[in-house]
Structure 1
Amino acid sequence: MSSRAAFVALAAGLLVPAAAASLSACAPITSYSGFQAIESDPKDVKIGTDTKSTVRGRLGSPSATGTFDPNTWFYMNQLKSRVAFKRPEVVARNVVAITFNKDSETVESVNSFTLKDGKVVAFNGRETPTRGRELTILEQILGNVGRGSMLPQDDESVPGNRPGDRRN
């Protein structure tokens, strides 16, 4: 085998693993967070027959409960994907809302929401200014003139002073 053919074979042998490694470096990294349906799915809850205790026994504690109505339970999960240095992107999100009857604690409704049902909320980053007294530099420098004496006080009966302590 000539030296040129050996060099080409060696270069090809080194380039194939390098190309495979560079392609695998761009593979997305996925992370799963939230409720994981292992043995049963929240969508399988039966309306009218299941109660809070059977739902908790089957699915576990909810991810969240309703702020104004504790009879609404939410089971949430999401899947994020990240490629290299880019920001993580939410690929899938599932929210199951289970509503219970207040009196009998049986399931009234089971609603499923996905990422498509979500809405983007405009965040307003402005702050409400609070008007207080704004001091000038001169007022800050001369503000403590006349408020106290510059000599140490010998009055040890003031609360918070230790005997023999000259600091104020």
Structure 2
Amino acid sequence: MFRRVMIAACAVGVLAPGLLSVGACAPITSYSGFQTIDADPAKDVKVGGDTKSTVRAKLGSPSATSTFDPNVWFYMNQVKERVAFERPKVVARHVTAISFDKESEQVTAVNNYTLKDGRVIAYNEHETPTRGRELTILEQILGTVGRGSMLPNEDEGVPGTRPGDRR
């Protein structure tokens, strides 16, 4: 009987801290970008009815404008969650693209994009080689020894010296 109680106590002692530590890891949520407090770009902006000035009055300044066409505004936000020491994961992303007509400045299109609409871009991991040779740590530390002097310069016209500074 005593042996069973000891085995059960040891099992609870081993498993309980692990269960408590897993339950204590609540995700840390962070919000960034355009915060929809009073306005929702997808619902508040009407195609053909709003202009740049009314959109700016309703939503504020855009998060970004298009690089190639200044008549496209973007309102973006995203939500990230991080658990303990893990990398943050993007849970939600919303991008609203509002297009304007060049002459009348009226809204021509309102497009909504989410995290599902995103694409993974494969970055090129190659490095561009540079000329010259790489110095070791010892060469970097001792590289300036003997190249200058600790004594002040005798020349008055040398940059970095003050007139009348003689020691």
Q: Same fold (TM over 0.5)?
A: yes
Aligned to 1:98: 98
Query: What displacement does 1:88 show?
Result: 1.0
CA distance in 1, matches of 2:109, 2:42: 10
CA gap 1:157/1:28 in 2 versus in 1, 3 angstroms: closer
Q: What is the 5 A alignment of 1:14-163?
A: 22=21, 24-44=23-43, 45-132=45-132, 156=156, 161=161, 162-163=163-164
> How far does residue 22 in structure 1 lie from its aligned partner after superposition?
4.2
Larger Rg: 1
CA distance in 2, matches of 1:128, 1:81: 35
TM-score, normalization by structure 1: 0.68
Matches of 1:97 and 1:107, distance apart in 2: 11
Q: Give the secondary structure class of the aligned counterpart of 1:108.
A: strand
Residues 131, 105 of structure 1: CA spacing in aligned structure 2 closer, same or farther, 3 A cutoff? same
Shift of 1:159: 6.0
Q: How far apart, in 1, do the equivalents of 2:117 and 2:159 lie?
A: 63
Fraction of identical pairs, as percent: 65
Aligned CA RMSD, in angstroms, stands at 3.4
Number of corresponding residues:
141
Residue by residue over 1:31-74, the C-alpha shift from the partner in whole angstroms, topping out at 9 and shown as x without a partner, is 11111112221112111110001001111111111112111110
How many angstroms apart in 1 are the aligned matches of 2:134 and 2:88?
43
SS of residue matched to 2:30 = strand
Unaligned runs of 5+ in 2: 1-16
**Residues 51 and 132 of structure 1: is their aligned pair in 2 closer, same or farther, counting only changes over 3 Å?**
same
Q: TM-score, normalization: structure 2?
A: 0.68
Cα offset, 1:119, TM superposition: 0.9
- State the 1:27 CA deviation: 2.0
Q: Distance in 1 between matches of 2:27 and 2:116?
A: 22
Return the offset for 1:163: 3.5
